[in-house]
Amino acid sequence: MRFSRKILISDLFINSSIGILEKEINNKQRINILAILEVESSPTTADDINNVLDYRHIVDTITKIANSRHFGLIETLSYNISSTLLSTFSEIISLKLTISKFDVFDNCKSISIEEEYHK
């Protein structure tokens, strides 16, 4: 029997240097990340953090990447996050990322992308 687990990290708000507009290049802006990770695992019977993928490491990795440099495109940020997570954490089978930027346009609350990556 195959068992898998999904880890959902929602409303991860990060102040990041991202965008191609002058106002975005010169100012950090708040982005929102939703990450859904499918993790190969087994049912957890022991109440021990060492038996599961510690999502604190996932949040820390995403935050570090988003703050590592200026990204012109949220697509590039998504790729950097996904490739790092997939190569760092062998338990991750696939992941879906949604990244949103706010207040880019006066008549639009947010701009988002959603991308899926699989091993």
Question: Of the candidates 15, 9, 6, which has an alpha carbon nearest to the alpha carbon of residue 33?
Answer: 9
For residue 60, the model assigns a pLDDT of 98
Q: What are the sequence ranges of the domains in the chain?
A: 4-118
Distance CA 99, CA 112 (A): 5
* Whole-prediction pTM: 0.91
| CATH architecture label of 4-118 | 2-Layer Sandwich (3.30)
Distance CA 51, CA 44 (A): 7
Indicate if the pLDDT at residue 87 is higher than 90.
yes
Return the sign of the alpha-carbon dihedral for residues 68, 115, 14, 18. positive
Q: Map residue 92 onto helix, strand or coil.
A: strand
Mean pLDDT of 7-13: 97
Indicate if the pLDDT at residue 86 is higher than 80.
yes
- Per-residue confidence at 18, pLDDT binned at 50, 70, 90? very high
Question: Of the candidates 5, 29, 49, which has an alpha carbon nearest to the alpha carbon of residue 100?
Answer: 29
Helices (H), 4-116: 22-25, 55-66, 74-88
- Per-residue confidence at 1, pLDDT binned at 50, 70, 90? low
Tens-digit pLDDT profile for residues 52-80: 889 999 999 999 999 999 999 999 999 99
Indicate if the pLDDT at residue 84 is higher than 80.
yes
Tens-digit pLDDT profile for residues 99-119: 999 988 889 999 999 999 998
